[in-house]
Structure 1
Amino acid sequence: RAFVMENCAAMSDTLLESELFGHKRGAFTGAFEDHVGLFQRADGGTIFLDEIGDTSPAFQVKLLRVLQEGEVRPVGASRAVLVNVRVIAATHRNLDQDVRCGRFREDLYYRIASLTLHVPPLRERSADILPIAHMLLARAAQELGRPQLRFAKDVPANLLAHSWPGNIRELKNEIYRAVALSDGETVSATSFSPGVLYGQPGKAAALQGSGLAQTGSLQERLDAVEAVILRETMLRHRWNKTHAAQELGLSRVGLRQKLARLGLEGQAHG
């Protein structure tokens, strides 16, 4: 069965209408031949509309008609075409709020929200960060013909400590950047951008409300949590080991040993 997708935020209303619903030859300047829209191509299958929350109210009216009537009318056509399509939509916006403020049509919202899945931001599901990172590293390694690429031991703590405001896209960009800056077979933490390398204070405070890793041994999970707390504390004290050790109730030597074991030692100069 067909599966097609379109990013609704990537084009204007006119182009989006043409791309989804199709157009007839001569319907507008540059329409030199008939164009079959994605809804027709997906007939009997599924169409995925990404960033549907960024569509205009005018376009939402046209989309609502397609969903209600089960037919599309290509731009410039005199007759509609029946389609049988499963629609999956996604958005980064809060559509409940957009409906209340009148930016998104309420009738369209209830039409597409019969089954809703909320995917939390990456910062709220820490358990997913490392598996996704390893998958992206493997993909980058395959694309670049460097199958032996792997993360250095200091990378996991850095990835877990970052809040990832850009979610998966940011994580992907960071990993591809780190791979491009790595010469050997090991990708180290110093290959990541300063925002990931030095982190953002406050991560440990949000740790309790985030999902902790649900895979790995008990020691591996405890190490991940300990690394986040140590790193956040060091950031607040500008990597002053004496002050950080006092706050954590450790000796300076004990703190240095923990930092070294978790791959955090020396990052202040990275």
Structure 2
Amino acid sequence: MTNLPGILVVDDEPRSVEALLRILEDDFEVFTATSARQAEDILAREWIQVLLCDQRMPEMSGIAFCARVREQWPAVVRIIISGYTDSSDIIDAINEGGIYQYITKPWHPEELTLKIKNAVELFQLQRENEQLGIELRLKPDSLEQSVAERRRVLQERFDWDLGIVRGADSVMNQVCFRVRQVAPFDVNVVIQGETGTGKELCARALHYNSLRKNAPFVAENCGAVPDDLLASELFGHKRGAFTGANEDRTGLFEIADGGTIFLDEIGDVSPAFQVKLLRVLQEGEIRPLGSNTRRRVNVRVICATNRDLEQEVAAGRFREDLFYRLANFVIHLPALRHRPGDIEPLAHAILHEQMALLGKSVKGFTREALDQFRQYSWPGNVRELQNEIKRMLVLAQHNELSADLISSKLLLNASADDELVLQELMSVCGHSGTLKDRIEQVEAQILKETLVRLRWNKTRAAEELGLSRVGLRGKLERYGLEKNGAQLVTAESQVNR
């Protein structure tokens, strides 16, 4: 019996199943099936939270199977994975199978793992929402009070200046200052930063500290979504506008009227859709697909991207006029690897949050575990740190989270930088000779690099290296370093002279 979330992988190709199993088994309890019948047996007896299903299978399509799962196990979060990107397939998957996400091949292991972790969180939120609905039905008179309290909590949670965890000299101090400056003003904002740096958190902070804080905040991920589907999501559609449009749908721009719409991965939208979005921003109107009627909307647009939009404009991949419509103000979020002083306070804050969510308490981290955190580059940024700590807490059997709970991937990557340094060191000093001779090789190389960089200014070189001019001169003579040609004689040859 394990405390890891249950994931069911369904694919008729055994190699695909094995590949997914290797990627996911560290973070999830993975069940596998090569047919719909096997998958249904597993769903009937196991606690499955997320279904990851291939689209093209001989017995039935992934969409058809997801539709069946939707009827019998509606709480299971359904994900389709496919090498086909036909927009009609994607629309059918959403309408018929009620899928959470449509992932196209080839997929990246880290991104796939992150998406499934997000699906697990969605499953948990759905259960909490069901419980809340039951409580509200039992106590309808408390609904208004609950909504007011929720707004108060949101306001406090997204107080960016007070709520963001950081060290005393963090680079995030300047970011917080910028957010505090721009939040009250009704201007569009572009948030730039790597995946997992907290761009949506920043967007919510801008909304909940603005004059629109009591109006809706809605979000849409624009990455890798076909234009027709994205237009339907943002602008809405009329029944019969396209195959699978069985009823009218209100778009997110209209839902957000008076509030804020957050468009994530805006740098990934196609040039054709950029034109549609520009028209909406210029005219303040949207037209649902299949409708001849335009509707006025008043929204603040906040966008996020992991790309440099100015470079995208220069390269001709992003419209300049749209950029200036969106980027009244640009906020850059630094990667976690550029915030080494924030890692420890962030880890403690995340652990406190996860203990409350999981109902499990520990005293904290061992120093070795925190040191490993600081050595890792965190390509997934704060989101990856959060997932790692949650995993450690689930697996913990003692009062402290120790380094042996850290996932093997993180430990291997944490030592990668040390391995690179060692390789570079060995390339300089070689693989033979006494320890003294090999250390002198490294010293000679450092002297040469410093002098060349400082254009043979020996005074500056001596100051930088912490040597006297006489000491520097002696070392240059010892290693045969001269300005003309910058001759470098090996330490071993110098010792034997």
Q: Which amino acid aligns with 2:236?
A: G
Name which of structure 1's ranges 43-52 and 130-139 shifts more when overlaid on structure 2: 130-139
Residues 227 and 273 in structure 2, CA contact (< 8 A), matched pair in contact too: yes
Q: Deviations over 1:6-29 (max 9, x none)?
A: 111163222111111111111111
1:113-152 aligned at under 5 Å gives the runs: 113-148=327-362, 150-152=364-366
Report how many residues are paired.
211
Measured after TM superposition, the shift of residue 148 of structure 1 is 3.5
Q: Secondary structure at the residue paired with 1:117?
A: strand
1:47-66 aligned at under 5 Å gives the runs: 47-66=261-280
The percent identity for this pair of structures is 54
Cα separation, partners in 2 of 1:54 and 1:185, compared to 1, 3 Å:
farther
Cα separation, partners in 2 of 1:160 and 1:93, compared to 1, 3 Å:
same
For 2:305, the equivalent position in structure 1 comes to 91
Q: Secondary structure at the residue paired with 1:66?
A: helix
Residue 382 of structure 2 corresponds to residue 168 of structure 1? yes
Q: Distance in 2 between matches of 1:185 and 1:71?
A: 57
Measured after TM superposition, the shift of residue 52 of structure 1 is 0.7
Q: Distance in 2 between matches of 1:76 and 1:14?
A: 11
For 2:282, the equivalent position in structure 1 comes to 68
For 2:222, the equivalent position in structure 1 comes to 8
Name which of structure 1's ranges 134-143 and 154-163 shifts more when overlaid on structure 2: 134-143
Measured after TM superposition, the shift of residue 3 of structure 1 is 0.8
Q: Distance in 2 between matches of 1:117 and 1:108?
A: 17
For 1:178, the equivalent position in structure 2 comes to 392
Greater relative CO, 1 or 2 (CA 8 Å, sep 6+): 1
1:229-240 aligned at under 5 Å gives the runs: 232=418, 236=422
Q: Deviations over 1:8-54 (max 9, x none)?
A: 11632221111111111111111111111111111111111111111
For 1:208, the equivalent position in structure 2 comes to none
Cα separation, partners in 2 of 1:10 and 1:192, compared to 1, 3 Å:
farther
Residues 369 and 406 in structure 2, CA contact (< 8 A), matched pair in contact too: no
Measured after TM superposition, the shift of residue 181 of structure 1 is 2.6
Q: Secondary structure at the residue paired with 2:263?
A: strand
Measured after TM superposition, the shift of residue 146 of structure 1 is 0.6
Residues 137 and 149 in structure 1, CA contact (< 8 A), matched pair in contact too: no
For 1:251, the equivalent position in structure 2 comes to none
Contiguous gaps of at least 5 residues in structure 1: 203-231, 238-242, 248-270
- Structure-1-length-normalised TM-score: 0.71
- Structure-2-length-normalised TM-score: 0.40
Q: Which amino acid aligns with 1:24?
A: K
For 2:314, the equivalent position in structure 1 comes to 100
Cα separation, partners in 2 of 1:188 and 1:117, compared to 1, 3 Å:
same
Q: Distance in 1 between matches of 2:303 and 2:280?
A: 14
Q: Distance in 1 between matches of 2:363 and 2:266?
A: 37
Q: Secondary structure at the residue paired with 2:250?
A: coil
Q: Distance in 2 between matches of 1:165 and 1:82?
A: 41
Residues 366 and 403 in structure 2, CA contact (< 8 A), matched pair in contact too: yes
Residues 72 and 83 in structure 1, CA contact (< 8 A), matched pair in contact too: yes
Runs of 4+ deviating beyond 4 Å: 232-235
Q: Deviations over 1:211-242 (max 9, x none)?
A: xxxxxxxxxxxxxxxxxxxxx599849xxxxx
Cα RMSD between the aligned structures?
2.4
Residues 71 and 80 in structure 1, CA contact (< 8 A), matched pair in contact too: yes
Q: Distance in 2 between matches of 1:16 and 1:54?
A: 12
Residues 22 and 74 in structure 1, CA contact (< 8 A), matched pair in contact too: yes
